[in-house]
Amino acid sequence: MTKLLSCFKAYDIRGRIPDELNTDIAYRIGRAYAESIQPGSVIVGRDIRLSSDEMAAAVIEGLQDAGVNVYDIGLCGTEEVYYATFAFQDADKPMDGGIMVTASHNPKDYNGMKLVREQSKPVSGDTGLNDIKQLAEANNFAAPVMHRGSVKHISIGADYTKHLLGYINPKALQPLKIVVNAGNGAAGHVIDWLETALKQSMTQAEFIKVHHEPNGHFPHGIPNPLLPENRDSTISAIKAHGADLGIAWDGDFDRCFLFDETGRFIEGYYIVGLLAEAFLKQNPGAKIVHDPRLTWNTIDIVNSLSGIAVQSKTGHAFIKERMRKEDAVYGGEMSAHHYFRDFSYCDSGMIPWLLVIELMSKSGKKLSQLVDERMLRFPASGEINRTIAQPEAAIELVRKHYQQDAQHIDFTDGLSMEFADWRFNLRCSNTEPLVRLNVESRGDEALMQTKTNELLTLLAG
């Protein structure tokens, strides 16, 4: 009888070690990926988790047994697998896919994988992940091929660093003092590469490194700066060193989180607006993709610069697909995922902060000054999660309550309702009995707070 695998999620693979994910399952995923995608060559990388080496070895074994050649880039972040997959060639042959062994910001006893095909196109849900799941569950593979695939260890550091710095003009950077919190070290090596490259270009950036060394025991907590309790070390370092800004990353650093010079955490929503502005100044009339949770600030900035704002369903697979379809130069989600056309439409946790320090340098403004005006014009609640037994019924109740007064109702992702001076988005979690609420207003923080409380009371009822 086929044993169902609970580690397959909507967008990726994640499970507790060893009951939900282990080396046997990892091997089967390697075989299933090879059978489904039919690649000739695949990039493999891994994060700092204690189980990541053995998980990567097992998935590589599965790929080899299917005749796939593996290019192993070692300890890395997810975006390095994306980069290597779309940029690296061997004997002028591009890669056919990539596998990153990571559980991102999950607890330390978890691991997982993020899968892409050629040009780093996502493999998720309907784009192949369900097929791989079924093959891995069936575990009915042919005997290993006669000519097993090879394994080659490669370094992408120099080319990847050059690519990152291609988004900015390093010579335009002013001397800045930057706190960089690598969480438990995953992002540390890339910071070191960038620090060296910036010094060579005579840029006077000073990096204050916090929790910089790789440590899979996670001594500094789960690497998730969205949790307020995980922000203290970044905030303390900013204040102690009088830094110009702080940056913290999640476990596989495909997201970065910014703090201003006072140590204030900046919501990802306002960074989306900043980056949209930066790209539209370089690419007049370009398309910018955004998610439906918080929208007014982004749309206002894009329209003011004669760009075209395009709304997409939340989630990396949807954003990337829409960006390719629209040939959008940039896409951003309020959850701190930022996507770039020149990065094969993938998300990066390194490109955003480089663009922000260039904006600060060129404008002569502090990060607080860059976002304060926008925060006053469009105050937002930030995402509020509530556990509700019947989330769909609760959302329907809210829709009926406000329907008569709504100027616009949208179902792109959950329920979005707009009124003259405020709007909200309410959506179900993909994985838990949760509803996620976001509220914003036009320049009226008291109204935003009132409506937030009103909605929460409705949901509780």
Taking only Cα atoms into account, the Rg of the chain, rounded to an integer number of angstroms, comes to 22
The residue from 51, 52, 104, 233 that is catalytic is 104
How far, rounded to the nearest angstrom, does the alpha carbon of residue 67 sit from its chain's CA centroid?
A: 31
> Position of tokens 């299917």?
66
CA distance 48 to 30: 20
| Three-state DSSP string of the chain | CCCCCCCECCCCEEEECCCCCCHHHHHHHHHHHHHHHCCCEEEEEECCCCCHHHHHHHHHHHHHHCCCEEEEEEECCHHHHHHHHHHCEECCEECCEEEEECCCCCCCCEEEEEEEEHHHCECCHHHCHHHHHHHHHHCCCCCCCCCCCCEEECCCHHHHHHHHHCCCCHHHCCCCEEEEECCCCCCHHHHHHHHHHHHHCCCCCEEEEECCCCCCCCCCCCCCCCCHHHCHHHHHHHHHHCCCEEEEECCCCCCEEEECCCCCEECHHHHHHHHHHHHHHHCCCCEEEECCCCCHHHHHHHHHCCCEEEECCCCHHHHHHHHHHHCCCEEECCCCCEEEHHHCCEECCCHHHHHHHHHHHHHCCCHHHHHHHHHHHCCECCCEEEECCCHHHHHHHHHHHHCCCCCEEECCCCEEEECCCEEEEEEECCCCCEEEEEEEECCCHHHHHHHHHHHHHHHHC
User: 32: exposed, middle or buried (C-beta count within 10 Å: 0-12, 13-18, 19+)?
Assistant: buried
- Phi first, then psi: what are they for 50, rounded to 5°? -60, -30
Please say if 104 is a catalytic residue: yes
Active site residue ranges: 104
